[in-house]
Structure 1
Amino acid sequence: MIALEKTIAILLCAGLSRRFGDEDKLAASFDEKPLVAHAADMLASLPFQALIAVLPGGQGQTQLHAMLTARGFRIAENPRPSDGKDSSIRAGLQMALRYRPKAMLIALGDMPFVTSDHVARLSRAVTPVAAAMSFTSGRRSPPLIVPVGMAEAITSRGDVPVRDIVTAKCLVEVSASERELADLDTAQDFAAYRAGERDS
């Protein structure tokens, strides 16, 4: 176990959302507030050492930037979001390591159903040498918590995929019948989950 008070939460918000269309997916309305606000509000309700959101670089004070800083998030910029999720993870971890945490949680801005109880389970499962990773229907999923030593390895080995570094892990399972680990990628996902037609 590593306490949340010694953990920094990193919310990844730099994806290009190619499948969603021209609108900014994370700022799009879902259940009466912007999609990203669901994950941001859940994380902000917990006693993390600090909150970091990773946004695309060079965009200045966007609506998303203002929304997240108002909720207490520090902003890390990913100058090359087209390089994929690993580049955002590394940008967030590099900022987080400045604060000397014991662990870092990595969460996605397009997963609105993750609960504080699930984050607490991850916190209880992580150890100084093993990450805690969400798991459902035979697949691993964010959110996950990595100990500081693993975070340092991820940032120093930029040529190695993150998944190949996160080898020591404890899996925290979510029932396949629940939608907690669902991520919303398309306008059709928004409509289906808003209507309660899909589980996960």
Structure 2
Amino acid sequence: MIKAENTVLLLLAAGRSQRFGDADKLEQDYLGHPLAFHVVTALEGVPFRKRIAIVSGTRLDFAARGYEMIENTAPTSGLSGSIKIGVEACRACGADAVLIALADMPRVTATHIYRLLDYADGPDTILASSDGVRPRPPALFGKHRFDWLMSLTGDRGAREMILKAHHVIAAANELFDVDTREDLERLRAMV
């Protein structure tokens, strides 16, 4: 088990939303709040060592919600660029692990995050969430995996490593992510 108090929550919110169209998908209304703030609210009771939001040109104020906001000035470098920025900040605060979550996954729960932390078995940990078919974020990496995360390139992020990781199954639709306007409409229809 890795304790939340020794883990940094790294919220990736610097995507370019290319498949969504000309609007920032994270600012879109979902149940009366911006889409990105649902995962923020769901995880606010988890006592992480630190909360970091990697952003790019957003009007959303993650700092008011307890996050250190770090601007990704080169979002075209892909997901790996945001991960590297966040992992560097994790190292600076002496974290034992980093939990990588996506701001466009509004149905993630604290219960699932605690399950990931409970499964963790130390500094070599690699855990991914799964719907029972394929792995995806949120994903947890122990500090011995930080060097590997820093070596990532492009937009694939940590996908290859999480394919090999232990997968923690989440409840149905908990790992739903919003990439397109159609996804947002499907999400709204679930309520």
Would you call these one fold, judging by a TM-score over 0.5?
yes
State which drifts further: 131-140 or 10-19.
Answer: 131-140
**Structure 1 counterpart of 2:86:** 92
- Is the Cα–Cα contact under 8 Å of residues 9 and 43 in structure 1 kept in the other structure? no
Alignment identity in percent? 34
1:170 corresponds to 2:169: no
196 and 70 in structure 1: CA distance in 2 versus 1, 3 angstrom threshold:
same
Quote how far apart the aligned CAs of 1:103 are: 0.5
Call closer, same or farther: CA 1:18–1:167 in 2, change over 3 Å: closer
Q: Give the aligned CA root-mean-square deviation in angstroms.
A: 1.9
Alignment of 1:53-132 (within 5 A): 53-56=53-56, 59=57, 62-64=58-60, 67-127=61-121, 128-132=123-127
Deviation at 1:167, TM superposition (A): 7.1
2:148 corresponds to: 153
The structure-2 alpha-carbon separation of the partners of 1:164 and 1:187, relative to structure 1 and needing over 3 Å to count, comes to closer
Task: Structure 1: give runs of 5+ residues left out of the alignment.
Answer: none
- Aligned pair in 2 of structure 1 residues 110, 159: CA closer, same or farther (>3 Å)? closer
* Structure 2 unaligned regions, length at least 5: none
Report the residue type matching 2:36 in the other structure.
V
Q: TM-score, normalised by structure 1?
A: 0.87
CA gap of 1:158–1:179, structure 2 versus 1, over 3 A, is closer
Distance between the aligned counterparts of 1:103 and 1:7, measured in 2? 5
Residues of 2 paired with 1:26 and 1:190: CA distance? Answer: 10
User: How big is each residue's C-alpha offset from its partner over 1:41-73, in whole Å with a ceiling of 9 and x where there is no partner?
Assistant: 1222210001000012xx4xx522xx2000010
Number of residue pairs the alignment of both structures matches: 188
AA in 2 matched with 1:131: I
For the pair 1:133 / 2:90, whether they are aligned, the reply is: no
**Cα distance in 2 for residues equivalent to 1:35 and 1:102:** 29
The one-letter amino acid paired with 1:83 is S
TM-score relative to the length of structure 2: 0.91
Contact 2:136 2:162 in 1 (8 A): no
Residue of structure 1 equivalent to 2:35: 35
Question: In structure 1, how many angstroms separate the alpha carbons of the residues matched to 2:152 and 2:173?
Answer: 33
Contact between 2:129 and 2:136, CA under 8 Å: does it hold in 1? yes
